[in-house]
Amino acid sequence: MNITTPQVRGMASKYNASYLFIDKQVENGFGQDVAIFYQDEQITYRQLQERINQFGNVLKQLGINMEQRILLACYDSPEFVASFFGAIKIGAIPVPVNTMMKPKDFEYFLNNSRSKVLVIQQDLWDTIKEDRQNFLYLEHIFVISTQAVNEAGVKDYCSWVEQASSELRSAHTCKSDAAFWLYSSGSTGDPKGVIHLQHDMEYAYENYARKILKIDKNDITFSASKLFFAYGLGNGMYFPLGAGASTVLMPDRPTPDLVFATIEKYKPTIFFGVPTLYGAMINHVEQSGKKYDLTSVRVCVSAGEALPAAYINKWKNLFNIDILDGIGSTEALHIYLSNQVGKIREGSSGFAVPGYEAKIIDEHGALLPPNETGNLWIKGDSIAERYWNLHEENKVKFQGEWFNTGDRYYCDEDGYYWYCGRSDDMLKIGGIWVSPIEVESSLLEHDKVLETAVVGEKNVDDLVKTKAYVVLKNGMEPSEELKDELKVFVKDKLAPYKYPRIIEFVDELPKTATGKIQRFKLRNI
């Protein structure tokens, strides 16, 4: 049992998230049902429970305690799920991170979280191992590989897990214990560790997944967005597991043809993507004239950035399936404003998900009437406790029960919310945060660049792309080749999705009297 009344003073009632999402399903007799479809494997709830217990026991053998962080740099796979819940089950804190990141980003994640354990795919480990002396708190490295890992100082994930016992009792954590962290990019370029508590996944599952998506045991989910994003973590892991349903995990990059092939192969009932992927999939069908069978899918979901109304209509014409746009965030854990089947207003983010409240206020905190644009604040129990070690920022963003989203919105008379942009300079590209400051800093390292300002620009489909205005140093000639050179330069330095898609050479940038670049004068979104 998960819930027990404590016998000892000072111990809170027990709550461990691994119970609700795994052990309860086995206890209820669903042990033989498929939890995960992964390549040609089918992993049942019982098998998943064993792998979770084994990984939890491995951590215990190494002396890992409650509250210690375990960094996960894993592709979508059974190992991701087993490591995530194995850590949670012993009260340790898994920290899944974006696998597209560069070595210096991993160094930041490891040191900022003070992780003692790293679980990492072989190919990613190969890119960071020479920096090992910089990982200040790291004691154990588990490498996931299809071949036996034979490297001094690192552990082979598979063989360690195989030898461990598959019986494990969950730690006596309580609902207010930290359960896992996720990193979210900040405007200064340094990602912020978002601390989520044991009960947060249950709250998002009960409200969004059950009440809006109406998920049940018979569903099969497939999320093109990866598990290391808060969006993918719900879609592809704790939503289906909470329902005793199945998930399709795909470790590869989600290209349109691969996503279509995966849908046809596993016949999911709920599909999750980001607007740029829906756009690419529509384009793929229109260009190739190919036909795909999506009849297994009963509903599609989009989040990460605003979904253009045109995509909803085109998708409906092609496949006769609705796409539900909803806004969520890493801090809120999942979607808190959403459209619903039968209640869709194309181009809007829908209305408040049950369990969440939203308000739109002006700079002085006064509530705004319908149709007036202001700052969106939200309330709901899946909202993170705080950011790790960011005292000042916490005071601004987390105020009592309310969280300041940083998004500009208005609400119409019928309660539908309409996105109007950000109140900071942050950009959402392909559903993923890009900090203009980080891109600017990288461009400035190029020896021909004098100054630059990075802003968002909408393309023909209304999706935001990164644009860099660049002032070259004296005597440098602007050219198309130089534009390509700058794009490749940024791709090499930063995670590739951050490179500026559009570059424009200018003679000067708009500045304040004190010389600060006025990005807002350049942006037209």
Q: Which of 76, 407, 438, 457 binds ligand 3UK (CB under 6 A)?
A: 407
If one asks whether residue 303 binds ligand 3UK (CB under 6 A), the answer comes out as yes
- x/- mask, ligand 3UK, residues 200-239, rule CB under 6 A, reads ------------------------------xx--------
Cβ atoms of 102 and 493 closer than 8 Å: yes
DSSP string, 131-154: GGGG-TT--EEEEE-SS----TT-
- Closest distance of CB 216 from ligand 3UK, Å: 20
CB of 239 to ligand 3UK, least distance (A): 11
**What is the rounded distance in angstroms from the CA atom of residue 367 to the CA atom of residue 363?**
10
Using a 10 angstrom Cβ sphere, with 0-12 exposed, 13-18 middle and 19 or more buried, the burial of residue 395 is exposed
> In this structure, are residues 374 and 368 in contact, taking their beta carbons and an 8 Å threshold?
yes
Task: Compose the 331-370 pattern: x for residues touching ligand 3UK by CB under 6 A, - for all others.
Answer: ---xx-------------x---------------------
Least Å distance, CB 182 to ligand 3UK, is 8
Report the nearest approach of ligand 3UK to the CB of residue 363 (Å): 18
- Min dist CB 131 to ligand 3UK, Å, is 26
> Which residues ranging from 170 to 189 are in contact with ligand 3UK (CB under 6 A)?
184
Distance, CA of 379 to CA of 398 (rounded, Å): 10
Q: What CA–CA distance (Å, rounded) separates 201 from 384?
A: 11
> Closer CB to ligand 3UK, residue 52 or residue 179?
179
Q: Which is nearer to ligand 3UK, 137 or 418 (CB)?
A: 418
Candidates 86, 268, 328, 380: give the one binding ligand 3UK (CB under 6 A): 328
Residue among 200, 205, 301, 293 at smallest CA distance from 245: 205
The CA distance from 229 to 343, in Å, is 27
The answer to the question of residue 311 lying near ligand 3UK (CB under 6 A) is no
Instruction: Kindly state the smallest distance separating residue 10's Cβ from ligand 3UK, in Å.
Output: 35
In 372-448, beta strands by DSSP E:
374-379, 386-387, 398-399, 402-411, 417-422, 427-429, 432-434
Residue 236 structure tokens? 């592809």
Q: CB nearer to ligand 3UK: give 125 or 222.
A: 222
328: Cβ contacts below 8 Å, ≥ 6 apart = 208, 230, 231, 303, 334, 335, 336
**Positions in the binding site for ligand 3UK (CB under 6 A):** 184, 230-231, 303-306, 325-330, 334-335, 349, 405-407, 419, 422, 428, 433
